[in-house]
Amino acid sequence: MVGDCRLKYLSSPRYYLPCILILLLTALPLFVTSPYYLHIITMVFFWAYLATAWNIVGGFAGQLSLGHGVYVAAGAYTSSLIFVNLGISPWLGMIIGGLVAAVLGIIVGYPTLRLKGAYYALATVGFAEGFRVILVNTEQIGSWKTGGAEGFMIPLLGNAPQHMQFMSKVPYYYLILVLFIIIIFVSSWINRSKMGYYLTALREDEDAALALGINTTRIKLVAAALSAFFSGIGGVYYAQLIRYLEPNAIAGAMMSNQIVFLAIIGGRGTVLGPALGGVLLTILGEITRVLFGQIMGLHLFLYGILVVLFVIFKPKGLIEFMKNLYETLIQVLEGRRAEGARKGFIGVEERNN
């Protein structure tokens, strides 16, 4: 009985389709051998990761943070500085950079998360801009050089896996794939946990959540810290992938806005929506750069138009359409499985007779 139930579960398309997808992603470097295309795919998952990390506070908690590039920059600069000056491996720097970003998220969130709506969004923009200006105008912290406006270069040590440096793009791809799977599992856990219910309650009606006894400020701070922590980890990865940090690029409005655009268009407040937006729109952005590379920032302009259109006509984002498409595929596959089982049963009956 138990074996039959388990076999029935394993043969369900709801189980094997995600498994097939994971296997395909794992085997992808075997088929995509071009470093250029593998780098693009790596960046697709990087942006999907950041959009999902932002979604913890921007989607589940409903707090429109427009300065998340700050946390990416905090993780990137922290890990890079301690790597260059103290020799601490970026593998450990991931945790340290994430924790620094989380502390920064709490520092920013404690006064700003008491604000509502546009006031909170504007406060995050103001803080992010201030942080960027500090990075631009700070060339040195004590004996540690940060580069200021010229940026900070991370020295290449060759093929040094212990320092998260590889001569091939393949390890970087697998690393961001693992990080992406982790953030999806974390988001799914939050969404199903008591914390997820609290976040949904305050997102829908904060006053009602307060009336029910939920400490909304504390739960928003926890969400902000978690979101900043994972964004900081993404910053550490980005620093080792690019090996050059420029304040305007990593802490500027372009970084923050792109994260928000991807999450909103994909479907914020859902587990897979921001990741979906990250995947599809990063590909669209790359196509735009190839065709219209002479027009700087055109992809962000297109993202902005899409945000307006989706807010008006499809407020739930791309995920709603993809869910319907996925459910249709499941029904088709389950229908074929049922038809195959029926024919097999008839065949057995005919042989017995």
- Domain total of the chain: 3
Looking at per-residue confidence, does 287 or 228 come out higher? 228
Average pLDDT, the chain: 88
Full DSSP string of 158-218? SSBGGGTB-SSSHHHHHHHHHHHHHHHHHHHHHHHSHHHHHHHHHHH-HHHHHHTT--HHH
Domain of residue 342 covers 320-353
> Same domain for 10 and 148?
no
Regarding whether 138 and 23 lie in a shared domain, the answer is: no
Average pLDDT over residues 188-194: 94
- Do 287 and 191 share a structural domain? yes
Assess whether 1 and 87 both reside in one domain.
no
Across 259-286, average pLDDT:
92
Quote the tokens at residue 222: 């926890």
The one-letter amino acid code at 352 reads N
Q: What is the CATH number for 254?
A: 1.10.3470
Q: Which residue has the tokens 């579960």?
A: 9
Do 171 and 251 lie in one domain? The reply is yes
The alpha carbon of residue 52 and the mean position of all alpha carbons in its chain are separated, in whole angstroms, by: 3
Instruction: Tell me: do 13 and 40 sit in the same domain.
Output: no
Does residue 101 surpass a pLDDT of 80?
A: yes
Q: Do 103 and 250 share a structural domain?
A: yes
The pLDDT confidence band at residue 261, using thresholds 50, 70 and 90, is: very high
| Per-residue pLDDT tens digits for 53-71 | 999 999 999 999 999 999 9
pLDDT band of residue 352 (cuts 50, 70, 90) is low
The pLDDT tens digits of the residues spanning 310-327 come to 888 888 889 988 888 888
Q: What is the pTM of this model?
A: 0.90
CB of 34 within 8 A of CB of 40?
no
3-class secondary structure, 337: helix
The reply to whether 246 and 334 lie within a common domain is no
Matching residue, tokens 């219910």 = 197
- Grouping H, G, I as helix, E, B as strand and the rest as coil, residue 338 is helix
pLDDT at 347: 52
Same domain as 86, residue 61: yes
What is the rounded distance in angstroms from the CA atom of residue 106 to the CA atom of residue 108? 5
Instruction: Indicate whether 134 and 87 sit together in one domain.
Output: yes
What is the model's pLDDT at position 1?
42
Predicted local confidence at residue 193, as pLDDT: 93
Position 169 scores a pLDDT of: 93
Same domain? For 209 and 138 the reply is: yes
Q: How far apart are CA 122 and CA 130, in angstroms?
A: 12
Whether 273 and 256 share a structural domain: yes
